[in-house]
Amino acid sequence: MKIAIPNKGRLQQPSLQFLSSVGIKPLATDERSLIVPTSWEGVQLVLMRTEDIPNLVENGAADIGITGMDYVIESRADVEDLIRLDFGKAKISLAVPLSWNISDVSELKREIKIATKYYNIAREYITRKNINAKIVKISGAAEVMPSLGAADAIIDVVSTGTTLKLHGLKEIDTVMETYATIIGNRYWLKSEEADKINLVLTMMKGALSARGKKMIFMNVKDKDLEKVLASLPAMLAPAISKLSKSDAWEVITVVNEDCLPEIVAKAMIAGAKDIVILGIEKVIR
């Protein structure tokens, strides 16, 4: 089975970290090698340009791939959108020179030139918004184009807004939200390796569901059990088991990390003692 991942750039390290969390770790080979065996037998990583991954997954060069949603849309590749990831989050936005003093697309009056590497996304956007514009297709460094006179405005990736500011530009509209995603070849279910691909996807979903979740263990006296159970959330319901030596119970449940302080406080008031909190690696549903 082949998994396409970015060969450089923003998404590469988080992609490797994510794969490592499901037990897929690249085995050391020549660092220039673009096909890399992994610790999971039969699973290979294929290193490719982030923007090429949608088309390469569409035509079956890789079974699944990690790339940005922006490139999935831009490429128009016919792939399956399988799992949304929690990195590579940004906006693709329309930005104009600050000196224009405008804050909305409705204030654009004359025809403008927009520099972008997202030609298809930009085309669809200006048609949808009825904006009078020509598109200048470039392959990067869009922010510098207005100051060079190569374009009036840009459609590009914005995260903190620092790059726009640095180039005297101002975001006036969001074209789309983007994030890293796992895409799959449409026919992966018919692949001889469908079972393996399915298992990899299940482990990936398990790792994502486990993010931000903790397991809590606590000891509770018989008399306090009802009150403690009532104070606890759970996936289904908290588990209880009788302690061997006293008139007490061990109570176990899974909670969101964000709610931990509140849950611990309530459980302690209800009588819970000896609270142990553990991280969770995977939640497979």
Ligand X SMILES: Nc1ncnc2c1ncn2[C@@H]1O[C@H](COP(=O)(O)OP(=O)(O)OP(=O)(O)O)[C@@H](O)[C@H]1O
Ligand Y SMILES: O=P(O)(O)OC[C@H]1O[C@H](OP(=O)(O)OP(=O)(O)O)[C@H](O)[C@@H]1O
Binds ligand X (CB under 6 A): choice among 9, 42, 60, 212:
9
Q: Which does 162 bind (CB under 5 to 8 A by kind): ligand X, ligand Y, none?
A: ligand Y
φ/ψ of 53, rounded to 5, equals -60, -45
Task: State the minimum distance, in angstroms, from the CB of residue 49 to ligand X.
Answer: 7
172 binds ligand Y (CB under 6 A): no
Asked if 138 and 160 count as a contact pair (C-beta separation under 8 A), the reply is no
> Based on CB atoms, which residue is closest to ligand X, 38 or 50?
50
Query: Which ranges constitute the DSSP H helices of the chain?
Result: 12-21, 53-58, 69-75, 119-128, 145-148, 162-166, 194-210, 225-231, 260-269
Asked if 80 and 186 count as a contact pair (C-beta separation under 8 A), the reply is yes
52 binds ligand X (CB under 6 A): no
User: 1: which 2 tokens?
Assistant: 């089975």
Task: State the minimum distance, in angstroms, from the CB of residue 157 to ligand Y.
Answer: 4
Q: Which residue is nearest to ligand X (CB)?
A: 68
25 binds ligand Y (CB under 6 A): no
Binds ligand X (CB under 6 A): choice among 54, 65, 88, 238:
88
> Could you give the CA distance from residue 152 to residue 264 in angstroms, rounded to a whole number?
56
Task: State the minimum distance, in angstroms, from the CB of residue 174 to ligand Y.
Answer: 13
Q: Which does 53 bind (CB under 5 to 8 A by kind): ligand Y, ligand X, none?
A: none
Which one-letter amino acid corresponds to residue 123?
A: R
Binds ligand X (CB under 6 A): choice among 15, 21, 38, 50:
50
Task: State the minimum distance, in angstroms, from the CB of residue 157 to ligand X.
Answer: 4
> Could you give the CA distance from residue 139 to residue 247 in angstroms, rounded to a whole number?
70
Binding mask 89-128 for ligand Y (x = CB under 6 A): ----------------------------------------
Which one-letter amino acid corresponds to residue 202?
A: T
> Based on CB atoms, which residue is closest to ligand X, 50 or 219?
50
Q: Which does 70 bind (CB under 5 to 8 A by kind): ligand Y, ligand X, none?
A: ligand X
- Long-range contacts, 269-272 (Cβ 8 Å, 24+): 269/231, 270/224, 270/227, 270/228, 270/230, 270/231, 271/220, 271/221, 271/223, 271/224, 271/227, 271/228, 272/218, 272/219, 272/220, 272/224, 272/228
Query: For the chain, percent helix, then strand, then coil, each to nearest 5?
Result: 35, 35, 35
| Binders of ligand Y in range 197-256 (CB under 6 A) | none
Task: State the minimum distance, in angstroms, from the CB of residue 40 to ligand X.
Answer: 25
Task: State the minimum distance, in angstroms, from the CB of residue 249 to ligand X.
Answer: 47
Query: Judged by CB under 6 A, how many residues of this single chain contact ligand Y?
Result: 11
Binds ligand X (CB under 6 A): choice among 106, 159, 198, 246:
159
> Could you give the CA distance from residue 196 to residue 202 in angstroms, rounded to a whole number?
10
Residues binding ligand Y (CB under 6 A)? 10, 140, 143, 156-163
Point out which residues bind ligand X (CB under 6 A): 8-11, 50-51, 68, 70-71, 88-90, 140, 157, 159, 178
